[in-house]
Amino acid sequence: MAETILEVKDLQINFKTYAGVVHAVRGVNFDLKQGETLAIVGESGSGKSVTSNALMKLIPQPPGIYAGGQILFEGRDLIPLTEKEMTKLRGNDIAMIFQDPMTALNPTMKIGKQITEVILKHQKGTPKAAAKKRAIELLDEVGIPYPEKRFSQYPHEFSGGMRQRVVIAIALAAEPKLLIADEPTTALDVTIQAQIIELMKKIQKERNTSIIFITHDLGVVANIADRVAVMYAGQIVEYGDVNEIFYNPKHPYTWGLLGSMPDLENKTDELLRTIPGSPPDLIHPPKGDAFAARNEFAMQIDYEQEPPMFEVSPSHFAKTWLLHPDAPEVPLPEAVAKRIEGYLAKEEVQNV
């Protein structure tokens, strides 16, 4: 059994604003094993970026407040650490990749220098020539053609997809144990997106890096994740092995996300349905289940009491009253049932 590298317990992050206190992350729990990829999925505004920034202690304070919980990285809680201690961890043990690669790149510095700086900082005493050689190897490893030539170019000379590869090379230069990628492919076109995901899978296999992959697109998750956490209104509402989330989803919000995935196989499928309604106001989070107002199967209790995490299997949990033993059985929405049938049919074909 792989070692647990990260354990997040009851994490709560607030923001103090003029309109009131925004409860952006409301009691998030998950863990991550060495070499594992966890995908965090949810609509825009569900708290994915706040959660991942919190892991790096990148929440600006003020307006942000670490209002509760623990972030145990290799058993040590990061929340009480000083900025100096965190600086040592960042980029060293934990590295992060963002949606816009330009936020991570210095536009006025050749990319070779940006990579060697990280190598020299993290492997102190490395001779300059060896650092350069390593940087070129890294550029090659992340799939950048002509790495020797590219070494001496500036970020603006790279395309968006190539820039994201450079950012990944910089992140890898420090040989982090944990890589957090916040929508790293969202700004890229579908082909490049698939290439970056393949690259991250390769990195994980070769280096046994643990990855937290954040996305609003459930479609990319099946390809990269071992486990999936579905976030809604600052909470994890369903959590489990990737196959259980895709084949046996239990939360109506997950059904909504699955149902709104574009079907690439079947072009006649309706394009991009969205889940009707909008997420709740996080200054005044609703009593009961935060998803109730958008849940066509909501019961009285959904408006009164917050559901607990029900265990579906030892590796699958969902926070919905529909899993209560007294709840009525509700049929899986047709779009989701059809989607699952589609996966099963595809598997049968592959297994013949």
Ligand X SMILES: Nc1ncnc2c1ncn2[C@@H]1O[C@H](COP(=O)(O)OP(=O)(O)O)[C@@H](O)[C@H]1O
Q: Which of residues 23-42 bind ligand X (CB under 6 A)?
A: 24, 42
Q: Which of residues 278-317 bind ligand X (CB under 6 A)?
A: 282
Q: Is 213 in the site for ligand X (CB under 6 A)?
A: no
Which one, 4 or 12, has the nearer CB to ligand X? 12
10 Å Cβ neighbour count for 287? Answer: 12
Interacting residue with ligand X among 8, 32, 39, 46 (CB under 6 A): 46
Q: Is 44 in the site for ligand X (CB under 6 A)?
A: yes
Encoded tokens for 250: 């239990």
CA-CA-CA-CA torsion sign (114, 115, 116, 117) = positive
Residue 118 to residue 166: CA distance in whole angstroms: 12
Q: Which residues contact 250 (CB under 8 A, 6 or more apart)?
A: 238, 310, 312, 316, 318, 320, 322, 323
Query: In which element (H, E) is residue 11 found?
Result: strand 4-17
Tell me the residue ranges of DSSP E strands in 206-261.
210-215, 227-232, 235-241
Residue 232 to residue 57: CA distance in whole angstroms: 22
Which one, 118 or 233, has the nearer CB to ligand X? 233
Encoded tokens for 335: 């779009």
Contacted by 277, from ligand X, Mg ion, none: CB < 5 to 8 Å by type: none
User: Which residue, 129, 187, 199, 123, is CA-closest to 159?
Assistant: 187
Contacted by 15, from ligand X, Mg ion, none: CB < 5 to 8 Å by type: ligand X
By rule CB under 5 A, what string of x and - marks binding of each residue 10-49 to Mg ion? --------------------------------------xx
By rule CB under 6 A, what string of x and - marks binding of each residue 62-81 to ligand X? -x------------------
Interface region with ligand X, contact rule CB under 6 A, candidates 14-22, 127-135, 168-176, 196-204: 14-22
Q: Is 260 in the site for Mg ion (CB under 5 A)?
A: no
Q: Total number of residues binding ligand X (CB under 6 A)?
A: 14
Residues at the interface with Mg ion (CB under 5 A): 48-49
Residues at the interface with ligand X (CB under 6 A): 15, 17, 22, 24, 42, 44-50, 63, 282
